[in-house]
Structure 1
Amino acid sequence: MEFQAELVSRFMGALGKPCAWIPWTPSLPDAPIGEWVDGPNGACYLRVREDLGVDGTSLAQRERAFLTWALRSSRGQRDDEPMVRLRNCPARHLVDAVAGLACAEPVREAAASVPLSAYPAHLVAIEWSARVGRAPEPRESADMVKRVTEAYVEASAWQFFASMPLAIASVSRSALCHAWLSLGHAEMDVRGISALAAQIASALRSEAMIDARVAISGVIRTPQDAPAGVAMLELARREALQRATGAAVFGDDPVRMALRWLDDTAKAAFLRSVSAISEEETAHWPEGWGEMASAMVHANLNLSEAARSLYMHRNTLLARIEKLREASGLDVRRGTDAFALFAATALLEGQSALE
């Protein structure tokens, strides 16, 4: 959990009041971090992070004022470094940059601050917390992060931040491919990059005793792609936070990412289209339908492989698929149906992740 969220959690805990997190969806006002807005039914919400808020209805006015002061005075809020300020950039501005549309000022400034000496390249962000067992000096932690990371992949440039334990590295596409091949794997693909990021995060914990999160941008092909590059990096970092995982690569789960960018109306319409001919809401479909859809997609519609991944007999999976077909009208043995159900699963998981 990030610094601001941890601050709010500890404050609510000290008061003995529940900390009810809410996803900050486009249906809520685009308020700055630390600002209170009116929610439904008389609720009062505080924006803690770009994608996260908390229900502070139970707090007294002076308690709300304190949280506003604390969040606006926190490290991320008062820091002048562009890559750190990017963390408070609304997701829609990041998506605009990835799409090649006009860039918001924080995205332009972050792109100008990142050293990219070769193309095509990727940006790698490594964020870490206190060392397990004892807290080293910040410089010691930074040196360990650099040393362990470069044991896996050659970085052409490093950028460290005085205000927080964060490092940004520029890695050429060829260096990234070489790192994967040198570990004895086949040719590079998006899953290979994801696995490499996970290995780096694991090595930082086992070798440097540091809890680290690794995010990797999509490929940056030209200098004009730099704003898209930093936006992809930040979206990957937020994806890692959302999934509570140690590593994320922009594009390693495009369905989940794209669905998260939809507004509430589009999400509701999509779910309605998936269940268009079903008499039952998705909540009443056979238990485990989402896991079946995900397994079939990841198994490239191979029924036997999907059954193995779910630790069940092939005939058992067939019977459950038939029950799902009767309930939903969709058959995960067909590519388009499997993808629709897989997307619906990702969307529903994203809606409930912070509840």
Structure 2
Amino acid sequence: MTWWSEPLRRWTDALEIDVVVEHAPTSDPTVIGLWSEQRNEWWFQLDESTRVRFPDWKPTEAMREALGFTLLGGRDVARPAVDRMEQAYRTLIEMDVHGLVRASTAHVQPCIPSSEYWVYPGYLFLVRRNRDDGSLEEANSSWTQVSSDMLSAILGEGWHRELGERRDVVAYLPLAKLEEAVLDLSEADDELHVMDRLNSVAKLLVSAIAEDAYFDVRVAVSRRIEKPSQIHAGLASALLATRLQWLDNARTAVFGEGLLPLFATLASNEAVDAFWQVLLERAQLPVDAWPDDWLDIVQGVIQANLNISEAARILYVHRNTLIHKLDRLAQVTGHDVRDVTDAMVLYVAALLKTQQVALK
């Protein structure tokens, strides 16, 4: 609970008005404690990093002065504000997968003061640039504006901010607003599962940012957040999802979808060695002698849900060519990716191999 939380809540409850508390850093100390009007809405700068917006409220000058005096009256001016969200993010981003798994289930004190005013349940969207252009001030300025515009256009006017040295962007989307964010649903898509809808929004963000601003990004979606004490876990789960993206070379990831990549990443060295030993008992050749494109073939067939014609389209090869490749792969590995059980075995093998190559 921050110094302004209780007086703000008392006022908003008494007047029955809505508020949106947002991260809004300022380097100008003279604006703290002042009101401003933007887009026909009143804003109040609470401190160096936070402001509150009052949608659909038209206060008189006397009401603004009274509320401002009440809010600032509880401020602890002797103790500087600590950006706990930034601290939490920088700590989480340094964790390995095992640490992120533990953090994604923890309940801790909310790291965002405004979160007590959010609508729950909801999800965090984490947007990260693939190239590190942090040294380019012009690119960073453009990125800040683009990310803000795109998030507002697709997710709505909700909470979002930049975090970390690479200026990753995290935004919160209430579940109640999810359907509004999926702009391109056809009537046949009305029954999509929540995860499918989240993935649709993530893909929309990737494509919109690429097409309109030429930034190559990846988007990860957190676990379901039910209350403020789960926001830290939500942030950890979004980072965990990004760690698993590279295994499938995916641009989007929704936490909870990548169970096999997660297990492949968490597997001990002993478990991995035992897996390869059993797998190679049926193989005619060692892994290094398998076809050069076996990883792409396996992932393509899995992505196509074992539909060979669709897999051929994904892999940009003729269907007959792919069938020949699958026959050859089955011969040398002892596993036929057209069989669902064998496909899962080869998929795990592909994940482990991709992980091994990435760590070299």
Contact 2:178 2:197 in 1 (8 A): no
TM-superposed deviation, 1:213: 4.3
Question: Which residue in 2 is equivalent to 1:315?
Answer: 320
Residue pair 2:247, 2:261 contacting (<8 A) in 1 also: no
**Residue 192 of structure 1: how far off its partner (Å):** 4.8
Residue 179 (structure 1) aligned with residue 181 (structure 2): yes
- Residue pairs, 1:45-56, within 5 angstroms: none
Q: Deviations over 1:233-280 (max 9, x none)?
A: 121233457777654432444322331222322222222233232242
What is aligned with 2:88?
82
User: Shift of the alpha carbon at 1:307?
Assistant: 2.9
Q: Which residue of 2 aligns with 1:94?
A: 100
**Is residue 340 of structure 2 the alignment partner of residue 335 of structure 1?**
yes
Pairs within 5 Å for 1:197-346: 197-208=202-213, 212-221=217-226, 225-240=230-245, 247-346=252-351
Change over 3 Å in CA distance of 1:158–1:323 after alignment to 2: closer
1:145 aligns with 2:147: yes
1:18-61 residue CA offsets vs partner (Å, 9 max, x unmatched):
xxxxxxxxxxxxxxxxxxxxxxxxxxxxxxxxxxxxxxxxxxxx
- Tell me the TM-score normalized by structure 1: 0.63
Q: Quick one: which amino acid aligns to residue 174 of structure 1?
A: A
Find the aligned partners of 1:315 and 1:212 in 2 and give their Cα distance.
35
Residue 101 of structure 2 aligns to a residue whose secondary structure is: helix
3-state SS of paired residue (1:333): coil
- Displacement of 1:80: 6.2
Structure 1 match to 2:199: 194
Match of 1:158 among 153, 157, 160: 160
CA distance in structure 1 between the partners assigned to 2:246 and 2:326 by the alignment: 32
How far apart, CA to CA, are the structure 1 residues paired with 2:351 and 2:140?
40
- Residue identity in the other structure for 1:231: A
Inter-CA distance 247–333: structure 2 relative to 1 (3 Å threshold)? closer
> How many Å separate the matches in 2 of 1:329 and 1:241?
27
For residue 172 of structure 1, what is the amino acid of its counterpart? P
Matched length: 268
Once the two structures are TM-superposed, the CA of residue 348 in structure 1 deviates from its matched residue by 0.5
SS at match of 2:93: helix
1:132 Cα deviation (Å)? 11
Q: Which has the larger radius of gyration?
A: 2
Cα distance between partner residues in 2 of 1:330 and 1:169? 43
User: 1:201 Cα shift?
Assistant: 3.5
Q: Does 1:353 align with 2:358?
A: yes
Match of 2:155, SS state, is coil
Whether the aligned pair in 2 keeps the contact of 1:91 and 1:261 (CA below 8 Å) is yes
1:169 corresponds to which residue?
171
Distance 1:132 1:279 in 2: 51
Asked if structure 2 preserves the Cα contact closer than 8 Å seen for 1:215 and 1:233, the reply is yes
Contact 1:325–1:331 under 8 Å retained in 2:
yes
Q: Runs of 5+ in structure 2 lacking a partner?
A: 1-84
Alpha-carbon shift at residue 212 of structure 1 (Å): 4.7
Instruction: Check conservation: 2:124, 2:235, Cα contact below 8 A.
Output: yes
The 3 A distance-change label for structure 1 pair 295 and 148 is: closer
Match of 2:173, SS state, is strand
Distance 2:343 2:325 in 1: 14
Q: Aligned-pair distance for 1:200?
A: 1.8
% identity of equivalent residues: 25
- Residue 123 of structure 1 contacts residue 168 of structure 1 at CA under 8 Å; is this kept in 2? yes
Q: Deviations over 1:275-321 (max 9, x none)?
A: 23224222222343333322222222223322333333433333332
Aligned partners of 2:212 and 2:135: how far apart in 1?
Answer: 11
Give 1:83 shift.
2.0
**Is 1:121 the counterpart of 2:126 in the alignment?**
no
**Kindly tell me: are residues 147 and 351 of structure 1, through their superposed partners in 2, closer, same or farther at Cα, counting changes over 3 Å?**
same
Letter aligned with residue 122 of structure 1: Y
Q: In the superposition, relative to structure 1, how do residues 214 and 304 fare at CA in structure 2: closer, same or farther (>3 Å)?
A: closer
Kindly indicate whether the alpha-carbon contact (under 8 Å) linking 1:130 and 1:211 is maintained by their aligned counterparts in 2.
Answer: no
